A and B are shown apart, each in its own frame.
Chain A
Amino acid sequence: MNIVDMKSSAAPLVTGAKWSFVTRRVRRADIRLLDRDLTAATSGDLVLAEVQTIGNHKRLQLSDGRFSALYPKDRIVLACADRFAEDQYEGVAALCPDGSDLLAGGGVIGEMRSRHGKIKRPTRLSVIGRLANKDGRVVNVSDFGLPPSQGPKPKHVIGVLGTGMNAGKTAAAAGLVNGFARFGKKVSAIKVTGTGSFGDVQAYEAAGAAQVWDFTDAGLASTYRQPIGQLDSLTRTLLAASAQNDIAIVELADGVSQVETAKLLRSHTYRALFDAFVLAAPGALAAKGALHWLDSEAQIKPIALSGLMTQAPLAVAEAQTLGLPVFSREELADPATASCLIGLLEHPAQASVA
């Protein structure tokens, strides 16, 4: 049954609402109408919701880079999207008239499928409707992404991979950014997969990146369950947008065997975008497992190890038996390390000599 008068003016309800991080590229003047058909929701649709009960997420990441504490009855603008986070939630891009879940503090709304045993229930949201333009077409964050590009990329591209969530990938990526920047290079830092969050991009900015991008700049609120071709394309787009830099540091979310990450890494055309990879791990055994997976499934041999394990000298000593240098974030942030890595990228034959 079609309800003719599903669309009403959004202006009174959107006024005063908190706009979340994943919506930061949206041109707010385009928002005119409210679409109450929740069954048609797709990933990336802009959603106006009201906070029912505060659960796990007590704060929202705003589009201007600040946190905002959440209160019941707050009106917030989010993007409907999937979520993959082993130590938080798995959720899908769906909206329910009875209420939906705040799946990520960066502003992702959807329906939780499962949660980590130590994580509270999600903050619960009442869905007011999807936000639409003057023609009634629901606005999607993809409308404001960078146009796809296959243009030239920076001279060097280093990928940062991990054994899983919280392996220390972002710290390693930020360390690399800082080291290369202090070595006098212009660095672009890119997060190509994951769920929209300002934590990573702010870490890159703080490390001295000349330019920072993430997949939200390419029009996705989350990359979970998105077509691999689209993720490949967005990586090329963000690299092309970084072309004026000397080097790009590219972080891929979650572990190497996570479904989208694994598919990307198995693709030789995708791997060819990178000159080298650094692997972050919380421990030596995890590193060993990931190295084996990378070798057997993706023919990738990282040039160095890093991650949470570098905080533990015993773990470092064990990891050093794996035959790769192990760098802490501080060591990656040393321009002397950047000098060495540039040499290995430009003269790969010397890696075996080393």
Chain B
Amino acid sequence: MAQVYFRPGVPGALPEAWVIQPEVARRAPPVLVVHGLNRETELMTRLLASQADVTGRTIVLPVFDRTSWPRFQRAAGKDRADWALLSLLEVLRSEGWIGDATPDMSGFSGGAQFVHRFAWLYPDVVGRLCLVAPGWWTFPDMRGVYPYAMGTGCPNDTAAAFRLRANLMRFLDRDITVMVGELDVQQDRNLRQDPYVMEQQGSNRVVRARMWTAAALRASRRLGLSPRIRFELMRECGHGFGDCVANGALVRSFVPFGQTPSRLPTTKMHLRLEEVA
């Protein structure tokens, strides 16, 4: 049976973390799982523990506390949650919790916001991504400035924009699974609803996930990649982690087996583009 450990953090410097160690570890990289704005890491730990045994993978759940990282989901925002996660990875490696293998990364809601931004900033630091029901996204196009897109607006954001543009190919050149519950169409208080985002990204999480997937597929092809981006609508699921685990078989994609799945044929990806666009 998997063992769950709690690794204390340092406020403002190092996030706390739950570490789930499988009873029998396989030679597979760890999975980093990032919580949403509700920071339900204890629930997520409980629901994911058995999957650590199924896959033989170590699962790490960092806790970006509300005081130190109130807007962690922006990754490279004012509170620099990205730096905090880099520090955590270094510490976990030095303490032997995880090895040197490149971890896969999954995020739920605000955690998915963080994960896709983090992976975009540090494409060589993480492997496969599973992005579940983020409220809003950073789009791989020039229709806005970071964190909405990778365009430029004033001298202060050109460095961020350059980083995104320079990393785009490496960011997209990986397995990315985008998931959202088919009932996740409520405009709840955690869903960003300012007019700009409503117009750019759509009115709810389902629409936004479809639009981002389509944009990512378009950007991948523009860059000459054969996209490995998959969109999955979870039947009978709303916006709750427990709900998605119980009804949507979220866990299989959230903490997948360690081996890299075979590359999806391009023709199928064309169909998927039609499906999501």
Contact = CB atoms under 8 A, between A and B. Distances in A.
Contacts of B5: none
Contacts of B14: none
A313 interface: yes
B155 A343 contact: no
A184 B76 contact: no
A353 B122 CA distance: 17
Interface string B135-179: 000000000000000000001101100110111111000000000
Interface stretch (B16-24, B82-90, B181-189, B239-247): B82-90
A343 B158 contact: no
A286 B124 CA distance: 35
Interface in B93-128: 121-125
B158 A350 contact: no
Given A343-B124, A347-B169, A337 B163 contact: yes
Interface SS of chain B: helix
Interface stretch (A52-60, A187-195, A325-333): A325-333
B277 interface: no
A350 B166 contact: yes
B1 interface: no
Given A320-B158, A337-B159, A343-B123, A183 B168 contact: no
Contact of B168 (A331, A335, A337, A353): A353
Nearest to A342: B124
Contacts of B165: 353-354
A339 B124 contact: yes
B168 A354 contact: yes
A115 interface: no
Interface residues of B, number: 23
A334 B83 CA distance: 9
Contacts of B249: none
Given A184-B90, A336-B121, A325 B169 contact: no
Contacts of A326: 155, 158-159
Interface in A136-194: 182-184
Contacts, number: 67
A259 interface: no
Interface string A11-25: 000000000000000
B25 interface: no
A351 B166 CA distance: 6
B159 A327 contact: yes
A317 B166 contact: no
A96 interface: no
A201 B86 CA distance: 27
A339 B122 CA distance: 6
B163 A340 contact: yes
A340 B83 contact: no
A184 B158 CA distance: 24
Interface in A28-49: none
B223 interface: yes
Contacts of B121: 336, 339-340
- Most chain A beta-carbon neighbours within 10 Å: one of B86, B121, B159, B170: B159
Contacts of B156: 313
Most central of A336, A339, A344, A351 by chain B CB within 10 Å? A336
A316 interface: yes
Contacts of A331: 159
A182 B86 contact: yes
A337 B76 CA distance: 11
A325 B170 contact: no
B170 A347 contact: yes
A340 B166 contact: yes
Contact of A335 (B83, B166, B223): B83
Contacts of B123: 339, 343
Contacts of B125: 339
Contacts of A335: 82-83, 86, 122
A65 B165 CA distance: 42
A313 B155 contact: yes
Given A182-B83, A184-B86, A354 B162 contact: yes
B220 to A, nearest CB: 12
A325 B168 contact: no
Nearest to B121: A336
Contacts of B76: 336
Contacts of A182: 83, 86
Nearest to B163: A340
A333 to B, nearest CB: 11
Which of A326, A340, A342 gathers the greatest number of chain B CB atoms within 10 Å?
A340
8 contacts: A326-B158, A335-B82, A339-B122, A339-B167, A340-B162, A347-B170, A350-B169, A353-B169
Interface of A: 182-184, 313, 316-317, 320, 325-328, 331, 334-337, 339-340, 342-344, 347, 350-351, 353-354
Interface of B: 76, 82-83, 86, 90, 121-125, 155-156, 158-159, 162-163, 165-170, 223
Given A325-B158, A327-B159, 7 more contacts: A313-B156, A326-B158, A336-B82, A339-B125, A347-B170, A354-B165, A354-B166
